[in-house]
Amino acid sequence: MSAPQSSLDLRCYLVTSGIGRRTVEVAAAAAGAGAGVVQVRAKDASAAELLELTCAVAEAVRAANPATRVLVDDRPDVAWAARARGAAVHGVHLGQDDLPVEAARELLGSDAVIGLTTGTLELVRAAEELRGVIDYVGAGPFRLTPTKDSGREPLGVSGYGPLVAATTLPIVAIGDVTPADAAALAGTGVAGVALVRALMEAPEPGAVVRQVLKKL
């Protein structure tokens, strides 16, 4: 059984990059400004590096805003290890080729937040069959992005309406989303937007979060 979806604030969702102090600082600033989710993503980090980063982010985020959920990208084992250390880590976001969501749910327990990457109507319909195991889906790319090549065609604003209609799960738009895109995407019915570079490279991440929240 999944965590209650009503407890998730997906409107402004930070996906981190990097493994240095800047990553921790941006995560804390975003949480302090009201970002509901921080996903720790470091594709090139070792498991040990990702664990240390996750724990550091979790500590900083909890201090800034205890309501913000901290998720680990791809690695349920790292999320489990961080939780075992007592870190305020709430779950995991999985790709289509990662550990099956049922196994991640069994590992992390009923209170964990589990998200799943999609981006096509077929994938969203398949995700809907997992309702009760997962809590939300990410859908993208919104536009082509240098941070991740999914191999899928960009959805654009017009691509989200059919996906939203195909599932009862909340959808988060991702893929080079900027604050300027938030209002148009909100009009499609998505639950929120995930920002990577728009937050990680912002001089004032908190201001970006507040701008997005106003539009959603």
Of 116, 144, 161, 112, the closest CA to residue 4 belongs to 112
Query: Residues marked as binding?
Result: 39-43, 73-74, 98, 117, 145-148
Q: Which residues fall within 8 angstroms of residue 52, CB to CB, at 6 or more apart?
A: none
* Rounded distance between C-alpha atoms, residue 10 and residue 196, angstroms: 14
Burial readout 46-73 (b: 16 or more C-beta within 10 A, e: otherwise): eeeebbebbbbbbbbbbebbeebbbbbb
Of 45, 43, 42, 10, the closest CA to residue 23 belongs to 42
Distance of CA 140 to the CA centre of its chain: 12
* Rounded distance between C-alpha atoms, residue 147 and residue 160, angstroms: 21
Q: How would you write 100-128 as a 3-class SS string?
A: CHHHHHHHHCCCCEEEEEECCHHHHHHHH
What are the C-alpha distances in Å from 181 to residues 74, 148, 173, 175, 213? 26, 19, 10, 11, 12
What does the block give as tokens for 1? 């059984």
Query: Residues marked as binding for Mg(2+)?
Result: 74, 98
